[in-house]
Amino acid sequence: MEQQAGKGSILTTLKSIVQEITQIPQLDKALFRLATRVKQTMQVNSCSIYLADYDTQEFVLKATDGLHPDAVEQVRIGFSEGLIGLVGQREEPLNIENAHEHPRFKHYPEVHEDNYNAFLGTPIINQRKVLGVITMQQQDMRRFSEDEEAFLVTLAAQLALEITNAEIRGALSNLSAVNTVPAQKNVRGVAGSPGLAIGIGYAPDRKIDLRDWMVRHTDDIDTEIHHYRKAVEVTRSHVDELSGRLDENIPDDVKSIFQLYHHLLDANSLGREVEAKIREGWDAASSLKMVVEVYASRFEAMDDSYMRERAIDIIDLSNRILTNILIESRGHTIVERQPTADSILVAQEVSATMLAEFPRDKLKGILSIRGSNNSHAAILARAMGVPAVMGCQNVSPGLVEDKEILLDGYSGEVVVSPERNIRNEFIHLIEEEEAISERINADSDKPCETSDGCRIALYMNAGLSAEIELHAGACGDGIGLYRTEIPFMLRERFPSEQEQVQIYRQVLESAPTLPITMRTLDVGGDKPLPYFPINEENPFLGWRGIRLTLDHPEIFLVQIRAMLRASIGLGNLQMMLPMISSVGEVQEARRLIEQAFYEISDEIRGTDQTLIRPKLGIMLEVPSVLYLLPQLARYVDFFSVGSNDLTQYLLAVDRNNTRVASLYNAYHPAVLSALYDIVQQANKAEVPVTVCGEIAGEPGGAILLMGMGYRKLSMNAFNIRKINWLIRNVSLEESKGLLACALTAHSQDDVFRHINQYLERKGLGGLIRAGA
């Protein structure tokens, strides 16, 4: 047999089979080809594939080479019936010498398997769900070998991914016999912007794509250069128009997203290289394609999601330039259709310009097939208050276009062609959310205090998109986290000290009577700098945060000096160090901060200017510091819990990895226990402590944290009013009771159930969606 030729040949054959079936777009046809290849390769009499239909609780024969072909789609085996059902129930391979003698054997005359004795069946499983069963059968009465069994198990694991992807893409026909209405499909992505939305999927026309352009030569170099320059000029004007079309309440720093477009449009950026290609004899469109694809491939090859997003921006801009080249050189007329109903904007890659030009009155939500919550589209969506879900892999715009979509920007869940009861439930959630929003807005100016008199301070996490509330003067009790890395990430070089002074001064002056906590540069991990590349196999456990800045004191000192200079004459600056994992890091950082403080003090000596020594705090996000809090308390003025990274590190889960994202959960009992231990130790050491992760801005999380003893919560700006209103409608004693249930729970599902039941009893059910 071929399988006995050695492990190397088995692996080679397996790769060949998998590669072949992945090239067949229709899964039904791919399964038939798979059955034939397995039968030939393993030299068996039959190979068959059954897929699970959970609506009818049956396994359906979808493909076979060896059983009677008329049985395909006709034979349906109950989940608890026959050997196929047994494989599915046991969720492990079943290897039988004589199938007919097995007590679970069930005869199906239409399959014509009377002559087959040996039976090997393996479940097809993805993420704990049985998708089907693949079998091999032989006339000989024998047990299949270990190599044969291992081959089929390995093949089934690979097949599971293809079946899952096909189901999501809609490439697999519905298993149910009756399919008179579009089947509901549930898709999961990454939450990009909070909120609930319902609308019709709308994919903008993109008739011109640089990636599809065929390169051409030219003899008229001057004319082509003129066409290119004219197209760039028109594109620059269009980008300016789109930037100005954004809502007036969106601050300038969010609109600065378009600065990247302007940089690329600059003659010293793309322009110089494109014109060099034209002079080599290529027309304007071809030259643009050659240059842009090199840049885009560099970004797409980067491990980090933020940097990969820049490829989206480059390609989007280049398609616009290409369109204008064709209009200029060939008289093309581009007429795009416009949405006429409430719509969910759907695209393979939603770009900032695409979002800006979409009619605002029709835009209810955003669904991006690719992308992450770092994308410019996600940042703009949060600034505009539009729900968004990013990174919905294995879905094509064509699958969801013109279909009704329910979009949950809190959880990242999307439902396409929802069933009536699901749709009605979702509409009810939206109505509850809207009703509560009216009550929240009406009471937004009232103090954040529980019904039994416990005062909670609410702070804002500020960065690129949270500046809206900062400008509007609605930043709560201050800024608990200002992400200073944003200006670094938007530039092509390290910002100078004076540039940083201007940025920080503007922030400090925006709320001069409130404390503003600026976190020192936190790059690396999922936030690399384009001009300071870090190539690591595991960036989250690598050179990031305080580790990087202490290794580069010239970068750290410039930033600290800029913060101190920006605070001259003010007294509201607080500094915070990210990714602390040891006492030594704090001691070294303090030394450098002291050095910068004395330098600035010397510079202003003899003037009427005053410099106040800022309070210094550290982020608690690396698990090691949980066991060092008494020692660390001697060197800092406050703690701030970064619950997002702390959760990620405690549970060993990358929350941006869709395969394991479901395991990331700040309500895991272990995470809650860690948060509880932190506040107990901080209170004992008499060091103030704040929580600035996402859990602080969620209803259930805020109640649990309050019950633990936290009195300072920092959150995204759009959550402050909601949490303020929530806390005023609960009591401290109730929160302690809820905490007791949560800390003794076995799983996050148990925690959610306790939270949801509590909120329902309090008449706060409309907050459940956002909280859990």
DSSP H helices, 522-582, are 546-551, 553-566
Question: What's residue 141's pLDDT?
Answer: 93
Alpha helix (H) residue ranges in 75-145: 82-90
Residues in the chain: 772
45 belongs to a structural domain: yes
Question: DSSP character for 372?
Answer: -
Claim to verify: residue 50 and residue 144 sit in the same structural domain: yes
The domain total for the chain is 4
Same-domain check for residues 479 and 346: no
For residue 411, the model assigns a pLDDT of 78
Q: Is 712 helix (H, G, I), strand (E, B) or coil?
A: strand
The C-alpha atoms of residue 321 and residue 241 are separated, in whole angstroms, by 15
Q: What is the pLDDT of residue 247?
A: 56
Considering the domain architecture, whether residues 763 and 622 belong to the same structural domain is answered as yes
Please say which residue of 361, 389, 418 terminates a domain.
418
Q: Are 198 and 269 in a shared domain?
A: no
Distance CA 644, CA 650 (A): 10
CB of 548 closer than 8 Å to CB of 559: no
Query: What is the pLDDT, as a whole number, of residue 263?
Result: 64
Token representation of residue 178: 């009756």
460 and 529, same domain (yes or no): yes
How far, in Å, CA of 434 to CA of 569, rounded?
A: 43
Reported as a single tens digit per residue, the pLDDT across 612-667 is 999 999 999 999 999 999 999 999 999 999 998 899 889 987 765 656 666 778 89
**How many contiguous H segments (helices) and E segments (strands) does the chain have?**
28, 22
The pLDDT assigned to 585 comes to 94
Give the end of a domain, one of 330, 362, 382.
330
Active site includes 376?
yes
Amino acid 465: pLDDT: 39
In whole angstroms, give the CA distance from residue 299 to residue 303. 9
CATH of the domain at 127: 3.30.450.40
Beta pairing partners, 185: 416
DSSP-H helix ranges across 43-102: 82-90
Question: What is the sign of the dihedral through the CA atoms of 530, 534, 535 and 536?
Answer: negative
Give the DSSP H or E segment for 94.
strand 94-96
In this predicted structure, what is the pLDDT of residue 662?
A: 66
Helix 720-727 / helix 420-442 crossing angle, nearest 10 deg:
80
- Please confirm, yes or no, whether 692 is among the known catalytic residues: yes
Q: How far apart are CA 11 and CA 262, in angstroms?
A: 50
Do both 526 and 665 map to the same domain?
yes
Do the beta carbons of residue 13 and residue 38 sit within 8 Å? no
- pLDDT at position 380 is 77
Main-chain dihedrals φ then ψ at residue 680, nearest 5 degrees = -65, -45
Residues 6+ apart with CB under 8 A from 431: none
pTM: 0.66
Paired tokens of 23: 């090239």
Say whether both 85 and 126 belong to one domain.
yes
Answer yes or no: do 294 and 354 share one domain: no
Give domain status of residue 524, yes or no.
yes
CATH number at residue 365: 3.50.30.10
Q: Which amino acid is at 430?
A: I
- 476, 347: one domain: no
Backbone angles phi, psi at 683, to 5 degrees: -65, -40
The pair of structure tokens assigned to 672 is 């809650």
Half-sphere exposure of residue 714: CA atoms within 13 angstroms, side-chain side: 28
Of 376, 392, 448, 475, the active-site residue reads 376
d(CA 676, CA 681): 9
Tokens linked to 77: 């085996």
- Is 152 a member of any domain? yes
Q: Which residues contact 421 (CB under 8 A, 6 or more apart)?
A: none
The tens digit of pLDDT for each residue in 412-459 reads 889 988 988 999 989 988 888 787 777 877 777 788 999 999 999 999
Q: What is the DSSP string of 250-290?
A: S-HHHHGGGHHHHHHHSIIIIIHHHHHHHHTTB-HHHHHHH
Strands 118-126 and 129-138: antiparallel
**Domain match, 256 and 126 both:** no
Name which of 488, 656, 512 is nearest 571 in CA terms.
512
The catalytic position among 47, 392, 475, 692 is 692
Residue with tokens 């801005």: 697
Residue 177 lies in a domain: no
Has residue 355 been placed in a domain? yes
Give Cα 205 distance to the centre of its chain. 25
Do both 10 and 102 map to the same domain? yes
CA atoms within 13 A on the CB side of 28: 11
Which residue stretches of the chain have pLDDT < 50? 1-8, 171-180, 251, 253, 304, 464-469, 471-473, 770-772
Which residue type does 738 have?
Answer: L
Nearest in space to 194 (alpha carbons), one of 437, 362, 479: 437
| Through-space distance between the first and last CA atoms of the chain, rounded to whole angstroms | 55
Contacts of 147 (CB under 8 A, 6+ apart): 3, 4, 7, 10
Amino acid at 424: N
Burial class (CB in 10 A: 0-12, 13-18, 19+), 697: buried
CATH at 645 = 3.20.20.60
Q: Does residue 230 share a domain with residue 199?
A: no
Residue 428 lies in a domain: no
State the pLDDT at residue 466.
39
Say if 424 falls within a structural domain.
Answer: no
Is 426 a domain residue?
Answer: no
Range(s) of the domain holding residue 244: 210-330
